[in-house]
Amino acid sequence: MVKIRDIELGEFPLLLAPMEDVSDPPFRALCKKHGADLMYTEFISSEGLIRDAAKSVQKMDIYEYERPVGIQIFGYDIESMREATKIIEKTNPDIIDINFGCPVKKVTCKGAGAGMLQDIPKLVRMTDEIVKATNLPVTVKTRLGWDDQSKFVVSTAEKLQDVGVEAISIHGRTRVQLYKGDADWTLIGEVKNNPRMRIPIFGNGDIDTPEKAVEYKNRYGVDGIMIGRASIGYPWIFNEVKHFMETGTHLAPPGIRERVEATREHLLMSVNWKGPTLGVAEMKRHYTNYFKGISHFKELRMKLVTSFDLNEILETLDYIAEHENEFQFV
């Protein structure tokens, strides 16, 4: 049984990666429904929380059905991160996660996210202060290093454990790589198999099929796998991986009607959470993914992504479901 403190996550948990503009409550609800064992919010700016910025505060919304769920924060200033930790603690998440992995330039140029990988002593000091500031378990999401010359994740993981971090998720790329090339899990395996390490180590990067999940589990010995981009528009991947691990066989992939139902559910939750204008607008990034790989779908996809009228979008989804036999997967 993999545990973060007293939070039981199962024998081999599958985690939903925190993804900016993706892993909001509606999306997390679908991933939970389809087998995710632990989820994290989108990353939240410590400075935004301290200023009480509406967008940052809204990102802290969590719901009972999501548990266990972690709130993820990022920042460069240690005192701001301490203050943000105190603010987050009042919302009662199960876990506080520190983002030392975001590679986006507007984050790293300020020294936050993966930018912290250029200053490991400060990264460790910050983590130590956050652990001391809360009674909640603290976890970390990070990368192999800043670039090929600074892949210090093995020693960094030891230091993070020493200051009280209770689990680490590692993306198998450097910051310089962004999301290019193949994720290298070799160092993730070294962290996991380091005899000094006692806490759960989760691997992240390029897991997009059940076969790859099983292969990497067996090859690198990680305690669980964090799935990000492969879940966008395809929350079914969590149960598909679990089923394959248990049986060696594949679950039938979702058909047109199942995809329509998931899209409708996601859309209505998004409208309920963000309001009709923003809820409809922010769903546009998901339609292409929900209906990926379907032939003769371009015209309907355009209707979905260009309409701002909720009823019109729901009517288009109804049409797709009613004509499911006219579509094929390619």
Answer yes or no: do 131 and 260 share one domain. no
**Based on the structure, what is the number of domains in the chain?**
2
- The half-sphere exposure of 21 on its side-chain side, counting CA atoms within 13 A, is 7
- Tell me the pLDDT tens digit for each residue of 9-60: 999 999 999 998 899 999 999 999 999 999 999 999 999 999 988 888 888 8
Which residues does 5 contact at the CB level (< 8 Å), separation at least 6? 137, 166
| CATH for 121 | 3.20.20.70
**Pick from 140, 96, 101: nearest CA to 7:** 96
- Number of continuous H segments (helices) and E segments (strands) in the chain: 15, 11
pLDDT band at 62 (very low <50, low <70, confident <90, very high): very high
pLDDT band at 316 (very low <50, low <70, confident <90, very high): very high
- The residue from 230, 247, 264 where one domain ends is 247
Answer yes or no: do 65 and 149 share one domain. yes
- Tell me the pLDDT tens digit for each residue of 88-124: 999 999 999 999 988 888 888 888 898 999 999 999 9
**Pick from 256, 248, 255, 192: nearest CA to 224:** 192
Answer yes or no: do 136 and 277 share one domain. no
Structure confidence at residue 104 (pLDDT): 85
- The residue from 247, 276, 295 where one domain ends is 247
The residue length of the chain stands at 330
Structure confidence at residue 296 (pLDDT): 83
Q: Write down the residue that tokens 């996601």 correspond to.
A: 266
Answer yes or no: do 89 and 41 share one domain. yes
pLDDT band at 325 (very low <50, low <70, confident <90, very high): confident
Answer yes or no: do 225 and 260 share one domain. no
Answer yes or no: do 167 and 263 share one domain. no
Answer yes or no: do 155 and 214 share one domain. yes
- Tell me the pLDDT tens digit for each residue of 204-247: 999 999 999 999 999 999 999 999 999 999 999 999 999 999 99
Q: 294 is in which domain, residue-wise?
A: 256-326
Answer yes or no: do 106 and 242 share one domain. yes
d(CA 213, CA 90): 36
Structure confidence at residue 163 (pLDDT): 98
d(CA 293, CA 150): 39
Asked if 223 contacts 202 with a C-beta cutoff of 8 angstroms, the reply is yes
Answer yes or no: do 234 and 279 share one domain. no
d(CA 210, CA 213): 5
d(CA 72, CA 187): 24
Answer yes or no: do 226 and 283 share one domain. no
Average pLDDT over the chain, rounded to an integer: 94
Answer yes or no: do 222 and 283 share one domain. no
| CATH for 289 | 1.10.1200
Asked if 98 contacts 126 with a C-beta cutoff of 8 angstroms, the reply is yes
pLDDT at residue 167 greater than cutoff 80: yes
Answer yes or no: do 243 and 286 share one domain. no
Show which residues are catalytic: 102
- The residue from 247, 268, 286 where one domain ends is 247
